[in-house]
Amino acid sequence: MPERDLSPLSDSPRPHSAGRKRVDDDIELPPLRESEVGSDATGNWTAEHDGPPKSNGFASFLGAAALIAAIAVGGWFFLDSGAAEDQHPNWQHVAAATDASGADANQLVRLDATGETQTLPTIEVASADRDRTATRKIRAALRRDNLVLATAELQAAQSLASASQNPEVRPPELVANSDVVAALREGRQELFEIELFDCCDEDGDVVEVIVNGSLFATVPILHSGTKVSVPLAPGNNKIAIRGVKDGGGGVTLSFRTSRGDYYARSMRVGQQYEMGVVVR
């Protein structure tokens, strides 16, 4: 009986098409099929896998779909914010004021108690809008040269939220030796109440109120309205509104006095809207 060869098997790789031998006998096995060949961590093909790793196309598809959905939702929210403004019933008055205003001539649409509308360049205040109590207290404090107390009385006359409740609020302050202080002390100006309110979608609009050239207060615009008591002289005055924050679709601000509701044109952030205020 011939001796069996017990020398170690060669380490040289065999082509996949070559036959295989079991180590315990001389029986030659058929070659591996391609479907039985996989890859190990070193990149060599093994028989433990069905084939090379396949890319996860379904996961990639889901990731792309999620990204598209997020963009679509963001776009919908942006468009919906603008649409909420022009779908409000009061938008017709805002649009009318915008159409009537030019580059140098701002117009307001007044809606009176009877439901009649009129286009005007000014807001009107009357005796019913006077804040006599606050005027008297401020004047008395200024005549005692107590600017701190006068400022506190002026701030108390406003219906603004405190800065701790809303950091976007900036209450009015009286500045020493200013024209406003002198006019209030001498009785040439009085406080008149004007309500500012968001006439369309309440979406977080904020404006600055400038009275006769001086910054008076920073006011968030709400449906419920915010009353400001501003110092005005008899006859003609000027109030300017500057857009500070737009919640979407434009800053939509209106005014209310005893003479009716006044609708202004829509504004952008940074845009300033100036109008006359007449004390009757």
**Residue 18 included in any domain:** no
- d(CA 244, CA 206) in angstroms, rounded, equals 5
Partnered with residue 214 across adjacent β-strands are 211
Q: In what order do the strands lie in the sheet with 108-111?
A: 117-120, 108-111, 260-263, 253-257, 190-198, 226-232
**Does the pLDDT value for residue 150 go beyond 50?**
yes
Residue type, 247: G
pLDDT tens-place string over residues 232-253: 999 999 999 999 998 877 888 8
**Residue 11 included in any domain:** no
**Residue 75 included in any domain:** no
* Residue 152, helix vs strand vs coil: helix
**Residue 64 included in any domain:** no
Confidence label for 266 from pLDDT (cuts 50, 70 and 90): confident
**Residue 74 included in any domain:** no
Question: What DSSP character marks residue 130?
Answer: B
Partnered with residue 267 across adjacent β-strands are 251
pLDDT tens-place string over residues 73-98: 344 333 344 456 677 777 888 889 98
**Residue 58 included in any domain:** no
Q: What are phi and psi of 254, to 5 degrees?
A: -130, 165
For the residues 108-131, what does the mean pLDDT come to? 94
Task: Give the tokens for residue 72.
Answer: 């679509």
**Residue 49 included in any domain:** no
Q: Which residues contact 95 (CB under 8 A, 6 or more apart)?
A: 86
How many other C-beta atoms are found inside a 10 Å radius of the C-beta of residue 90?
Answer: 18
CA distances (Å), 277 to each of 62, 251, 264, in order? 59, 20, 13
Q: Are 68 and 235 in contact (CB under 8 A)?
A: no
The mean pLDDT of the chain is 79
Q: What are phi and psi of 60, to 5 degrees?
A: -60, -40
Q: How confident is the model at residue 247, as a pLDDT? A: 81
Residue (of 246, 239, 245, 230) closest to 262 by Cα position: 239
- d(CA 205, CA 62) in angstroms, rounded, equals 38
pLDDT tens-place string over residues 30-52: 555 554 444 444 444 444 445 55
Domain span holding position 116: 81-279
Q: Which residues contact 46 (CB under 8 A, 6 or more apart)?
A: 37, 38, 39, 40
Name the residue with higher pLDDT: 184 or 73.
Answer: 184
Confidence label for 267 from pLDDT (cuts 50, 70 and 90): confident
Q: How many separate domains does the chain show?
A: 1
**Residue 262 included in any domain:** yes
Number of H helices, E strands in the chain: 5, 13
Confidence label for 231 from pLDDT (cuts 50, 70 and 90): very high
- d(CA 34, CA 18) in angstroms, rounded, equals 12
